[in-house]
Amino acid sequence: MNTIAEHIADFLKQYPPFDNLNFEELSEIATSIRVINLEKYKTLFQINDVLHDSFYVVASGVINLSVIADAEETLLNKCVEGDIFGLRPFFAKNNYMMTAKAREESIIYAIPIAVFRPFVAHNPEVLDFLLQSFATNTSNPADKENLSGKLISDNVYFSDQQSEMQYVQLLNYNNTPLKVAPTAIVQDVAKQMTDALTTGAIVAENNIPIGIVTNTDMCSKIATGRFLVTSTIDKIMSSPVVTVIENISLAEAQLIMLKNNVTHLCVTKDGSDKSDIKGIISEHDLIVAQANNPGVLIKEIKRSQSTKDLKLIRDRLTNLIQKSIQKNISLSNINNIASEINSAIIKRSLELAILDLGSPPVRFAWLSIGSQGRKEQLLCTDQDSILIFEDVTADKYRDVKDYFLKLGKRTTSNLEKTGYPLCPNGHMGSNMLWCKSLTDWTKQYNNWINTPGENSNEISSIFFDFEIAFGEQKIEEAIENVIFNNVKNNALFFDFLGNDALRKNSPLTFFKKFNIEEEGEHKKKFDIKTRALMPLIDGARLFALSQNIRGVNNTYLRFKQLAIVDPKNAEIYLNCAEAFLTLSKFRTLEGLKNDSSGQYINLQELSKVDKENLKNALAPMRELEELIKTKFKLTQFS
């Protein structure tokens, strides 16, 4: 082996994942490596470039990885000595999604994927390292202390909740695959594949897979003349078939294809080649799945030019939520993802309204309240929002408010066209009651907190669950300060809020039967929103405000946070957190099934096990109720 290759092998041995290979293997790889000298500011590859046949390791210097978002180039990461980047050709077929440019004069090692792939397939540690990085968009998964040797994904998108979004990479595939008998003639199968517009056919006996034939087999075995077109298909099929279980994730499918060096996977009932065929996954399906990545949806939202575009994306979100639940992905992760996409749609709806109306006369903030303010809006429930604009002089107030009312109406109309119904109670930024200046909003919150119950029968507690969707962050912070400064030691406010939380009817009767609706269109159904979810939401809000927990509006996370700040009652809070997720899942499934808000559960359609699970999830509510009475000394309430 030449001395340059030896030097490269020695260098690679210091860094993961190469430290999992022996020197002999590294030496073999090193002889195929190209050394690239990149001058300062020289680009190695850029967004939308066709994929290279290699991935890269920084030998010296610094490489900047960046993307273009909102017409700005944003630096994602700096790769230094030992860092790996440009992995995209390993796992995806679509073009690069970032730019790699030398920040200073650099030396790069280009490692051919064809040479490296066999070592990956036979070294699970190497494979896991590469795949985990690519699939989760993290830095080096082995590198918790940010040491050198980071591995940078090329599957990047933007989001404040970036770390949460990686959990959902869903895979739709052909669940009516072309199946042929082993005695079928090659020529006939080729025609069937062409007619079905498919790149693969499963060879089956009694719906059990015994082989697979792909376009590659047709090209390498028939077109080359090795076999005649009159041969039976079993002569050219690949066997045994690589099989996977139903509801496989994108990351898992990528891993298995890479490991087995195949372009198609057969989906079976139990994942083995001894059970019934359920579908076929092709490389093309992986590319389509990446297009449904939540980050890709957010990019598409930012580029949308109409409510029609936004509606199509919102429909894809519904599909994403449904598939995520089927895969048993944690509901709290699904909530985060849905919230990010909903927020992006709200923001774009506002931007489209501003493009029509012209620039706002002063700074403002659009706050989502209610379920979206809590990051709990999985279904297309109605919109809830408020609009707060900067204080202006009295002579300008009317004109400024007039602009923002128009903006509110245009935005809520855009959202309605996108699929979010208008709030029947009028809790929206388009309503003159909920579109006002910061000073007016300050007075409103002061009244709600210091004289609760006066001038209104309810405190409109959803106004205490908010998240900025667009505008000036400082305005949101100002409102938060008003709330937390006023609630401190405010017994009257907590007395009112506590009684309000306890006023909801119990979900179960004295005999532990479900409290169902007795009349109306939902007769005999269980109101899971009012009787089960709202008491938990109200309880979490009440305790979070009393414990001065800021910046956490999500019910599940509020309970988790309460368990930390009030360890004596941690068990109650944690039980309530889990109950909230379980009940939310019941509601979401009901809503998806009936294209509704999921508020009313038809108990007759639930299995005995589901009914029991639903009943068990209601158990912690009794403890929460007692805790509210004890903490806030509420012995009598109306």
486-529 pLDDT tens trace? 998 888 899 888 888 887 777 877 667 788 888 888 888 999 99
Q: How many CB atoms lie within 10 A of CB 191?
A: 11
Element (H, E) at 610: helix 608-618
Q: What is the mean pLDDT of the chain?
A: 84
CB-based burial label for 510 (10 Å; 0-12, 13-18, 19+): exposed
Element (H, E) at 590: helix 570-594
Element (H, E) at 369: strand 364-369
pTM of structure: 0.60
The distance from CA 222 to its chain's CA centroid, rounded to whole angstroms, is: 44
Give residue 367's pLDDT.
95
DSSP secondary structure letters along 190-228: HHHHHHTT-SEEEEEETTEEEEEEEHHHIIIIIITSSS-
Residue 296 tokens, joined:
């890709």
User: Is residue 78 over pLDDT 60?
Assistant: yes
Give residue 69's pLDDT.
54
User: Is residue 396 over pLDDT 90?
Assistant: yes
Residue 96 tokens, joined:
């690069």
Q: Side chain identity at 108, as an amino acid letter? A: I
Which residues are CB-contacts of 390 (< 8 A; sequence separation ≥ 6)? 362, 363, 364, 437, 438, 472, 475
549-567 pLDDT tens trace? 988 889 998 999 899 899 9
- The answer to whether the beta carbons of residues 185 and 96 sit under 8 Å apart is no
Name the phi and psi angles at 422, rounded to 5. -65, 150
Sort residue 497 into left (φ over 0), alpha (ψ -120 to 50) or beta: alpha
Q: How many CB atoms lie within 10 A of CB 445?
A: 18
Q: Residue written as tokens 């060879």?
A: 203
Q: Report the DSSP pairing between strands 179-180 and 526-527.
A: unpaired
Give residue 177's pLDDT.
93
127-155 pLDDT tens trace? 767 765 554 433 343 433 333 344 444 44
User: Is residue 454 over pLDDT 90?
Assistant: no
Element (H, E) at 280: strand 277-282
Q: Which residues pair with 202 in a beta bridge?
A: 179, 212
